Chain A
Amino acid sequence: NAGVTQTPKFQVLKTGQSMTLQCAQDMNHEYMSWYRQDPGMGLRLIHYSVGAGITDQGEVPNGYNVSRSTTEDFPLRLLSAAPSQTSVYFCASSPLDRGEQYFGPGTRLTVT
């Protein structure tokens, strides 16, 4: 049982480049979300989804896009990377009826 997987683990981008962070879960969870973790600020919600075809914005959505075409996958797209997006990104999933979330291993992204 792989749980929540994320790729890549590390990534370096130049300002203006685009990329997609991949997230997949094999637990048939309806809810999936993306957080970013910055020093001294805990984790902040970027986008979330309550099922295939349904997405919504979290606390810090600017500069990021998401889509949910299947229950298993929830990719996060950076359209034009900026140094302010340097962070550690976590994907998480949970059943709709339970609050605790299961997290992936994270992706450390550096934008130069």
Chain B
Amino acid sequence: AQTVTQSQPEMSVQEAETVTLSCTYDTSESDYYLFWYKQPPSRQMILVIRQEAYKQQNATENRFSVNFQKAAKSFSLKISDSQLGDAAMYFCAYRSGGTSYGKLTFGQGTILTVHP
């Protein structure tokens, strides 16, 4: 079974600064997807970014980018120019390729605090 580990229970950053959230995963598969989800205090789960394992290029979405190191099984999220609205719990998630459909395995989450 795959596992996802987020080793930082809490992180903090100053507004306008950059922060990196860490995620490692364990799998023997070569075909899979990785995601970062954001959960603000409203509790809603919001997709931030996705990465296909077969793509070497790191995914980016505006101020959010990932550092995908397939050999090291590492998938970190970088938030640039942090904003107060970025404060939330962030979850890293893994999905197998093929016919596993949408089954996601989540990490434990990292609480991000943004200081004005």
Contacts and interface: CB of A to CB of B under 8 A. Distances in A.
A103 B44 contact: yes
Contact of B44 (A42, A96, A105): A105
Contacts of B101: 31, 48, 50, 94, 96
Interface residues of B, number: 21
Contacts, number: 61
Nearest to B97: A99
A73 B110 CA distance: 32
A99 B42 CA distance: 24
Contacts of B4: 42
Given A42-B91, A99-B95, A90 B102 contact: no
A38 B43 CA distance: 13
A43 B43 contact: no
A99 B35 contact: yes
A27 to B, nearest CB: 13
A33 B91 contact: no
B113 interface: no
A103 B44 CA distance: 7
Interface of B: 4, 33, 35, 42-45, 47, 50, 91, 93, 95, 101-109
28 contacts: A33-B103, A40-B109, A42-B4, A42-B106, A42-B107, A42-B108, A42-B109, A43-B91, A43-B104, A43-B106, A44-B106, A45-B103, A45-B104, A48-B103, A58-B103, A90-B45, A92-B45, A96-B102, A99-B95, A99-B104, A100-B33, A100-B35, A101-B47, A101-B104, A102-B47, A105-B44, A106-B44, A108-B43
Interface of A: 31, 33, 35, 40-45, 48, 50, 58, 88, 90, 92-94, 96, 99-103, 105-106, 108
